[in-house]
Structure 1
Amino acid sequence: MSSHLLTSSTSDGKEGLAAFLANPERAVVALDFDGTLAPIVPDPESARAHPGAVPALARLAPHLGAVAVITGRPAGVAVRYGGFAGVPGLERLVVLGHYGAERWDAVSGEVKSAGDHSGVDAVRAELPGFLDRIGAWRGTWIEDKGRAVAVHTRRTENPEAAFEALRDPLNELAASHGLIVEPGRLVLELRPPGMDKGVALAAYLREADAGSVLYAGDDLGDLAAFGAVERLRGEGLPGVLVCSGTASGEVPPELVARSDLVVDGPQGVVDLLNALADALG
């Protein structure tokens, strides 16, 4: 595997990679799912991990302190779509779903949840009529994610315009039920406040007693995790920020700008994981 994948353009990234490789038994790899381990597809229910993702993780994980997948999806769905259960080498994998409100551990094979939020139930019931009343673009559709409800515009005639037209109305609807709106790639997700990928990642790194961290993501929701790593670097924890992005023009420019490494979508993430496994030998 090409060693250039382990070359960072930033001083923080170089420091993070050096610490990661020097002391892998205390290193943590944390990864987003959609767009990072799994290619983005028009129908989220059709998303599956890249064919090389699980083998690469299984090669790398035994060298590390911990590996986690952090996603807005329900934890059980991410496990199923990722094919993570029962894989030799991934016996200590953790999947943090719904931005950390759910947790699946490979050790037990069970999902633990923080419970439901009444605002999500209210929005779930109200949203179809609400979208009709505001004249949402044809092709807009709703995804029920259990502890969250997402509105997608990818199938509309003009996805970006439909997305922008929904921002303010959905923010108002969410606020009226004690929820927040998390924007993503042509999707607006209404969910409870208080949890995001940054909160989930920081808590998991404390639990794992991490000596270094590598986080990879591709979307606006990953900015919170990037922020957590940046704060922790300021406190002395080496970290590497990876953007899964050069294959798609939809990746937020801010994510690219704040990354230490930019790789070519899920295939690039797989190549990076394999390069790390090769380096650790």
Structure 2
Amino acid sequence: MILITGATGNVGRHLVAELLTAGRKVRALSRDPATAGLPSGAEVARADEAPMDGVEAVFFNPATSWNGPGELLAKAKAHGVRRVVMLSSMSCLGEDDPANLIGQHHLEAEREIEASGLEWTFLRPGAFAANTLDWAGQIREDGVVRGPYARAHTTPMHERDIAEAAAQAFLADDLVGTKPVLSGPESLTHADQARIIGEAIGRSVRYEELSPETAREAMIGGGVPAPFVDAMLRMYASAVDTPAEVYPEFEQITGRRARTFAEWAADHAPTFS
């Protein structure tokens, strides 16, 4: 049995499906099992209960616990869980830069898991293509995405690809003790991504650059803590006119190239239309 935290999230939902297809038993955690909408083959349990009976491995999404994995790890060890696969972040490549709060949050969780004595794999994806779903309202309204640093580069990755790599960390032993860095197959600016979404929905979509100060106010107003907003803006500023590195690990793990952002946009076109 594999326990999936964050099972209704962008990655978790696809991971549940991947593991079921591979013939594995899955216990998916959700705040509200009645509305989770997960495949019928999954056992769905309450996230605040996280039952561990019969569980051999755990997928940990740190977004489900800002206090870290400590409580989950203690429970897992008490029930004989063998392996933890964590959805970490490429921002960990900055190692111990105190200004890199996103990286620090993930590194602290990684270190707790390493110290637990359990088998582990830390998947370190970069930008999620799904982050652009935040643009959907603006695109539907007038076809203009307003945000900071139009020329900042990332390698956006399809959430289905992240889930496929995560599934492999459970289905074989090759990734135990590794920290694969995952990226999409191409470096794209924010402006590129807006244009590609437009191509997918058959409308002109453009990116209108806001000043960092205006963007910061909007992001904080939307509920993102100021220290994380500042870390994100610094990251974008450093990526302006600097193509992002494309990493080979996904293809090495799965044997195929990652899906392009154009494929992701086509998959999600109804959300933007």
TM-score (structure 2 length as normaliser) = 0.33
Pick 1 or 2: higher relative contact order, CA cutoff 8 A, min separation 6: 1
